Each structure stands twice: as C-alpha cells, then as structure tokens.
Amino acid sequence: MPTVLADHARIFVQAGGGGGGSASFRREAHVPRGGPDGGDGGRGGDVVLVCDDSLRDLQSFKRRAHYRARRAGHGQGSQRHGADGEALEVRVPPGTQATLSDGVVHDLVTPGQRVVAARGGSGGRGNKRFAGPVRQAPRFAERGLPGDEGWIELRLKLLADVGLVGLPNAGKSSLLARATRAHPKVAGYPFTTLEPVLGTLEGEQRQLVLADIPGLIEGASAGAGLGHDFLAHVERTALLVHVLDLAPLDATQPQVNHATVEAELAAHDPRLAALPRVLALSKADLVPAEEAARAAAAWAERLGEEVPVVVTSAATGQGLEELAALLLRTVPLREARPVLRSADGEPEALAEHRVFRPAAGRGFAVERGGEGLWRVTGPQVERLLARHDLDNEDALAHVEQRLGRMGVIRTLRERGFEPGDDVEIAGVIFELDPG
C-alpha cells in the first residue's frame, strides 16, 4: 500500500468552563449566626496540543474534528472548592504547525512539547470571599466563566532528512521505491504522486528519512498546481535531491526544467536556495551511456564541486548505491544541523518559545442606546456581568460597586446619565441606581 500523508486538518477545540462559587452559610448546632462558608468553583480543563513521535500524519483528525475538555466542579458549603477540570491532550505528529484562532502560530517539533490551544475558564468565587466588615453576610457568589474555544488550523511539515524535488514525472517516485521500502504509486504520466510519500534509507549505523515531494511546476510558489501544499514539506529537510529527467516526455531542455524548480524553491523560501543539493540525473536507461556521461560532466561543470552529480536509473539500479552512500555520508545528524535563521540573520525561535499572552483589556466605551438607555462595552465589564446573577439584589449591589470603582458610573454621569436609567452590558439590560 502507498505510504501517503494527511498533512492538513482543521479542528474545533473548546476548553472546559469554570465551576460556579457557592453561596452557603454555616449551619451547625450551638453555632449561632453561622457566617458564609461557600467554596470557590474549580478551573476548567485546558485543551493541550502534545507532540507525539509515535504519530506520522494528521489522518486521525479526518475522523474527529471536535475536542472538548471537561468543565470544573462547583464550589460547595463548608468552604469546599470545586475540582479543576481535567485537561484534554490532543496528540499531533512532530513537524505539526498549529495556527490558533487568535493567529498565533506554534511549531511542535520536539516529542513531548506542549502547547495550550484553549485555556479553561476560571472558577467563580464563593460568598466567603465577599464577606467583610461592611458586608458580613453576602448572599451571592460568582459564576464560572466559559473556556476558550475556536478553530485551529493544523499543517504538517515533514521532518524528513532528505527531500526529493523535481518536475512531474521526473522519476522521483521510482527512485524512492527502489532506494527504500516505500511503495509510492508509479505511472508513466505526470502528477502520479498527489501526496508526499516517505521512505527510509537504511545504513549500517544510521537511517535517513526521504520524502518524495509531489511534482512542482512553474508558479508553484504562488499556488499554481500543487503549490504551497507541498513546498512547505521541504522547509525542514537538511538536503535536497533534485531529480532531473535525462529524457523528458515533452522534449524540454533539462536546463530549463532545472531552472524552473530551483526558481520555485527560492521564491517559496530563500533558505531553500541555500540548502545543500545533490543532482540525480534519472532514467539513464532511456539514453545511451555515452550521452548520460556527457550530461553528467556538463552538469558537474555547470554546478561546481558543491553539488555532486549522480547518474541513476530506477529500472536497472544504476547509481542507487552511490546515491545512498553519498546521502548517508553527507546529511548531518539532527543535533549537528545549523540553527534556522530568519531573513535578518537572527536565529529563528521556534513558536513554542514565543508565548503571547496579551493583558485583558481594561478599557470600556459608553454610548447612548436610546432614551433612558446606555450601552457599556469592554472585556472587563462584560466579564463582570457574566459572573453575576442580576436578579439577586446582593449581587446587583456588588456589581454597581465594582462599576463605580472601575470608573464606569463616573463616565456615565459625565455623559448625562440619570439615576434610574437602564444600562446594557453584554446584552443584559438592567436598571442602575448607584445613589
């Protein structure tokens, strides 16, 4: 069976909601006037992406697209706090690039690496937390907040050691099948390979993973043909084998074919142009031996000593041992490979080290929504409303107090607010009388 890869997926993640706090009072014999003893709600479970080297591709996400973590437990009396929700681990193969709903990109490369894709909602505080000299018997507690949710784009960029690149029908699949144990689809027409195929090259002391990248065409870097879908798979290879057909079907000059592929690689990412190369002149069995030798000499002179040239034939096995030995000798060990650098020459940090945690917005906006109606918007005031039941008089008094400390009431008065006017926050309309 062909070893093909599912390299794209889109999943929906939802973290667990926080537990609600408890509005409880101590009830015991011989304890008059028992005070508030409501416990806090727990924190909802996170959704965590975990890099798992036992996985090869994103095929499992084709069968399941929704992932929800457990919500937390509610607080109880006697100051018993709710249990935190259990985190949900979503396992992805090494080389996965995850784009979260807020646009932050994470690269999961190292086995065991973890990324929080959705954070669980915080738990509400029990009424014990609100007790004080002025409010000695609060009869309200906070609700828990919902967890983060959103769609995540997953894209697999192969962690292959060697990438086979070339135009359609250049002979990459045949070369991979003969050199490794892979069984890609092989046929005599272009675009036979529609998905990346992996193969393992066995050496005496090491293994190399080879990736057959589907054929590139002119304009691939701009999305033409298979485009970006497969150019991304060569970004993390240590060496590229450019497979060039000695006898192309369309009689195009090999020099033109070579220039086309190299231009698309450089246009996709300038770093690809700097990767080490090996030129494999394929299908040598279709041309006279003298012609193949002359072509190899011409290419060696054209490319210089830095690019080895090997004449190969998947049909006869010519040059395959030489190519395998060259790759096993040339490709550096993973730990010895140079650090990726950005366009300005600085070492490129993996996304796992770029943790963006913007502070919660503290601003708010006030606008008139009609006669006797005011609309207040802003993350902080909306969170405040989400936590409290405004049908509870104690909770409403607490919300009014908090709005006063946040400066909302002062701003309302400056805009013309009068006691008894309605206020709308997060879709909830209530009468505000701060006097």
Q: How far apart are CA 132 and CA 139, in angstroms?
A: 13
Structure tokens, 378:
């802003």
Residue 311 phi, psi dihedral angles, 5° rounding: -90, 125
Sign of CA dihedral 354, 355, 358, 359: negative
Mean pLDDT of 333-357: 46
Q: What percent of the chain has pLDDT over 70?
A: 81
CB 291 within 8 A of CB 360: no
Q: How far apart are CA 89 and CA 94, in angstroms?
A: 15
Residues 6+ apart with CB under 8 A from 236: 95, 157, 158, 159, 160
Per-residue pLDDT tens digits for 166-197: 887 777 778 888 877 644 444 343 334 445 67
Cα angle 219, 221, 227 (rounded to 5 degrees) comes to 85
SS3 20: coil
To the question of domain 365-431 being in CATH 3.30.300.350, the answer is: yes
* Band of pLDDT at residue 236, cut at 50, 70 and 90: confident
Buried b (16+ CB within 10 A) or exposed e, 182-213: bebebeeeeebbebbbbbebeeeeeebbbbbb
119: closest CA among 11, 10, 13?
13
pLDDT on residue 344: 43
Buried b (16+ CB within 10 A) or exposed e, 76-107: bbebbbbebbebbebebbbbbbbbbeeeeebb
Cα angle 367, 368, 370 (rounded to 5 degrees) comes to 155
* Band of pLDDT at residue 21, cut at 50, 70 and 90: very high
CB 120 within 8 A of CB 79: no
CB-CB neighbours of 318 under 10 Å: 18
Is residue 29 exposed (0-12), middle (13-18) or buried (19+ Cβ within 10 Å)? Answer: exposed
CATH class of the domain defined by 162-336: alpha beta
Mean pLDDT of 190-215: 68
DSSP string, 51-88: E-TT--SSGGGGT--EEEPPPPPPPBTTTBPPPPPPPE
Residue 418 phi, psi dihedral angles, 5° rounding: -125, 145
CA 368 to each of CA 372, 379, 403: distance values in angstroms, whole numbers, following the listed order: 8, 19, 17
CATH class of the domain defined by 1-156: mainly beta
DSSP secondary structure letter of residue 17:
P
Mean pLDDT of 228-234: 60
| Lowest-confidence region among 17-21, 92-96, 248-252, 357-361 | 357-361
Residue 154: is its pLDDT beyond 80?
Answer: yes
| Lowest-confidence region among 19-23, 320-324, 428-432 | 428-432
Beta partners for residue 279, in sequence order: 242, 309
Buried b (16+ CB within 10 A) or exposed e, 341-376: eeeeeeeeeebeeeeeeeeeeeebebeeeeeeebbb
Per-residue pLDDT tens digits for 397-414: 888 888 888 888 888 888
Is residue 227 exposed (0-12), middle (13-18) or buried (19+ Cβ within 10 Å)? Answer: middle
Q: Is the pTM for the entire model greater than 0.75?
A: no
CB 131 within 8 A of CB 398: no
pLDDT on residue 354: 43
Q: How far apart are CA 164 and CA 158, in angstroms?
A: 12
CB-CB neighbours of 285 under 10 Å: 16
Q: How far apart are CA 233 and CA 93, in angstroms?
A: 14
Residue 347: is its pLDDT beyond 50?
Answer: no
CB-CB neighbours of 334 under 10 Å: 9
pLDDT on residue 233: 66
Q: What residue has token string 């015991």? A: 28
Domain coordinates in residue numbering, the chain = 1-156, 162-336, 365-431
CB 260 within 8 A of CB 306: no
* First-last CA distance in the chain: 77
Query: 372 versus 228: which is more confidently predicted?
Result: 372
| Lowest-confidence region among 103-112, 288-297, 335-344, 421-430 | 335-344
Query: 431 versus 345: which is more confidently predicted?
Result: 431
Q: How far apart are CA 241 and CA 172, in angstroms?
A: 9
Report the DSSP pairing between strands 309-311 and 197-202: unpaired
Q: How far apart are CA 41 and CA 124, in angstroms?
A: 5
Q: What mean pLDDT value characterizes the chain?
A: 80
Q: How far apart are CA 228 and CA 165, in angstroms?
A: 14
Per-residue pLDDT tens digits for 276-331: 899 999 888 888 999 999 999 999 999 988 999 999 988 898 999 999 899 988 88
